Every structure is written in C-alpha cells, then in structure tokens.
Chains A and B, each alone.
Chain A
C-alpha cells in the first residue's frame, strides 16, 4: 500500500474503490450471488437492501476479500487479488469479531498491534468515538448487545479503513443509538481533516429509513441478483 495515495484528495481519483464484474458465488449448488456487476465510487455510501438469504452478506464478504467469487472478477483499489487489499478495508459482521474474555480496550490494543506499519487510531480514541468508556473493566462477554456492536465498530474504525463494510450495523440498537451511529458514519465518511480522502461505506440493513440520511445509492438484492438501484440522497 502506498502512503502517498492517502494524501490525495478524493476528487482527483475517479477510479472506483471496488469493481465487481459479473460476480457469482455458489455454495454447493446454491447460488448466493448471481451475476452481480457494480462499481463502488470513492466517498459514497451504499445501502444494500434485501430479504434474508438475498445475498447481502455474501456480497460484503466478497468485498472484504474473505470469500472468493466462483465466477467473475473483483478488483479492489485497482488490485485484482482481493486478499492483498484487505488491510485497507474494515469489515463488521453481525458477530462482534472480538474476544469475549477481554475488555473492549484489551481487544482493541491487541488488534492495533496487528496493524503495525499503517496509521491507526489510538484504541481509547476509537472507543470514545463510538461512545464507549475506555476505562470499562468488564470483559466483552458481559456487555449488552448494543455495546458489543459499538465495540465491534470501534475495532473497524481503529485501522482507519478506506472502505467500510457493515453487515446489519443497527440490528441490536434502539433508535437513539442507531441515529448516533448514522451521524458517526457520516463524520467518518467526511474524514477528520479536509484533505483526508472521503471514505466509502457499504452497509446492509432491514431498516431502510435509518440509513436514508447518509445513503447516496440504495441497491436491492433479490435471490442473489441486483434488481434495483436508486441514486441520490433519499432524504
């Protein structure tokens, strides 16, 4: 990864962050994704809608480089080997992806040391951003669902990813927390400094209304196919 690329203002790079070209993914003979073609432009927020089993999570995992497409090609940051760009991507699944036995701060410190060689947030700052108290001494297993979700988001923010993939980020949150999260995401996308690149977000949700304030593009998946695409802010 090139440090120089981070200093470039987003407006000059029209290159898509991710390019998905007729991607299909099969599990045995179940087709989770069928022939999906999509370009993700930098700085935009994409919202994926669809019923359970429509292929939303599969698409996110393919974007994260955790799953390879059965057919088709995917290019992330101009690199056709998805696994090599994973450090620039933040992926949050519906599971916390953190150790139950450690506190949130211990978890984050651990993950930060695995991102050596690239700029990261301080663990305390990442926790403060999602509204968790870094001094909390309880281990993660004793957190409520919503708090775990926040800790999980803090882990993703830690590595300052250029592409943020969120699977059902509002699922266990009350409306108040969800709104907080949306405004947090909006701030994240804008970047902390003006010359920071604008970051790209893809999130899946059932609650369309929650995501509308920041959505630039709403995509609907049905039985593995991309069936609808609505551009523009929907507020």
Chain B
C-alpha cells in the first residue's frame, strides 16, 4: 500500500499549485460561490419565516440556523467539488502524475474552505440584521469557532465527495455519509456559537472549542493518510 503521503519541502508548493488552479477556475466561472450564497440566503429567510424569531428566542436558535445554513449551502458546492475533474477525465490525468495525492486533496479542501468562508462573511451581517442579534459573550471567539467548524465540514465533505465519485446516485450519497460523521463537530459548533451569542458563561474552559480543534486534527490526519487509497481505488 503506497498510501503514506510524504511531506517534502516541495509539498506546500504543490498544494499552492493545485490551489491556484482551483481559485483561478472559480474566479472565471464563479459557479459555486454564487449558488452557495443564494442558497444560504434562502435558508436563513426560510428559517426566519418558520420560527418568527423574537430577540430573546432568536439568540437561542440563531447558532443552529447559522450552522445548518452553512451546512446545506456547502453540500451543494461540495457535491460539485470534483465535478470539473470528472467531466473530462482530468482526474485520470492527475492520477497518472507522480505528484502526491494528499496535496491534491488538501488544496481542494482549502479552496472549498475559502469559498464557504467568503459566503459566511457576506451572510454574517445579513444574519445579524434578520435575527436582531447582538452577541452577549466574547465575540472574538466566533472567529475561532466558526472557521474550525467550517473546516471540519469542508475537509470531510471534500474527502467524502471524492469517495462517492464512483457510486451511482453520487449526489444523494454525499449528505448520507457526511452528516452522521460531521454530527459531533456540528454539535460542538452549534453549542460553541450559542454560548457566545447568549453569553451564559456555561463553557468557561472553552471545551467546545477544544473538541472542535481535536476533531479537526483527527479527521484531517485520517483524510491525508487515506486519500491516496480513495483516489486510486478502482
């Protein structure tokens, strides 16, 4: 089994090569960002109609709505994560090259993380206006909890999108695999954000944040180690 990625000095240069290509392609087509943005906006509007949020109640549910909106929006983009590689068999050409597969995965995950974060940056203010929010806890912690949770979602999603490439009804399969495995991270993310918004001081030791970081490290390592196996499976 040749699944062990070797982290050479050139590894990050390789990641940068892949990443620059992905950003350039997205910069030209803007397909995933636009569809994600609109979709996430729709989810936020739908939820606010379904729950009729008042200021007090919205603080309780807003964390969940924000995370789930991100989740749904990301899945539509993650499903397309490898679409350009599959369309003209580019993936086969990539498999033929002697370059490390883990770098390909890492760059793709970074690109998706960048797109989803952009959507969150645009969506964030809209969200705070719609739900009449002003956080009572430490706002700066949001800048840690949300990226960590987003990374958990995007890295796993990119990995499982590659895993479901070869199956029939691939688009349906991704959420089926991703959601159960992402659940602990979602839970930590929702509770972390909720603690910050309500400022109830229920998590003084930042346990949810630590859990998220641990989750990210664990699953990132596994993905990097196993991606070669998934890419070369036939």
A113 touches B17 (CB 8 A): yes
Instruction: Using A83-B232, A97-B89, A116-B10 as known contacts, say yes or no to A91 and B17 having CB atoms under 8 A apart.
Output: no
A-side contacts of B234, CB under 8 Å:
66-68
A102 to B94, CA, bound (A): 16
A116 touches B88 (CB 8 A): no
Residue B97 interfacial (CB < 8 Å): yes
B96 touches A93 (CB 8 A): no
Q: Taking the nearest CB of chain B, how far is it from the CB of A156, in angstroms? A: 9
Residue A232 interfacial (CB < 8 Å): no
B-side contacts of A114, CB under 8 Å:
14, 17, 94, 97-99
Cβ 8 A contact of A101, one of B25, B93, B94: B25
B-side contacts of A155, CB under 8 Å:
93
Residue A190 interfacial (CB < 8 Å): no
Nearest chain-B residue to A67 (Cβ)? B234
Nearest chain-B residue to A1 (Cβ)? B98
B98 touches A118 (CB 8 A): yes
Q: Taking the nearest CB of chain B, how far is it from the CB of A96, in angstroms? A: 5
- Please provide the chain A residues from 94 to 124 with a CB less than 8 Å away from any CB of chain B in the complex: 95-102, 106, 110-111, 113-118
Which DSSP category, helix, strand, loop or mixed, fits chain B's interface?
A: helix
B14 touches A86 (CB 8 A): no
Residue A89 interfacial (CB < 8 Å): yes
Instruction: Using A106-B24, A116-B99 as known contacts, say yes or no to A111 and B93 having CB atoms under 8 A apart.
Output: yes
Instruction: Using A95-B88, A99-B84, A114-B17 as known contacts, say yes or no to A87 and B97 having CB atoms under 8 A apart.
Output: yes
A99 to B89, CA, bound (A): 9
Contact count band on A: 20 to 34
A-side contacts of B21, CB under 8 Å:
99, 102, 106, 110
A166 to B96, CA, bound (A): 14
A113 to B98, CA, bound (A): 10
- Please provide the chain B residues from 1 to 32 with a CB less than 8 Å away from any CB of chain A in the complex: 2, 10, 13-14, 17, 21, 24-25, 28-29
B98 touches A86 (CB 8 A): yes
A86 to B96, CA, bound (A): 5
Residue B95 interfacial (CB < 8 Å): yes
Residue B92 interfacial (CB < 8 Å): yes
A116 to B2, CA, bound (A): 19
Residues of B within 8 A of A (CB): 2, 10, 13-14, 17, 21, 24-25, 28-29, 84, 87-90, 92-99, 232, 234
For this complex, 7 residue pairs linking A to B, each with C-beta atoms less than 8 Å apart, are A86-B98, A102-B25, A110-B21, A113-B13, A113-B17, A114-B98, A155-B93
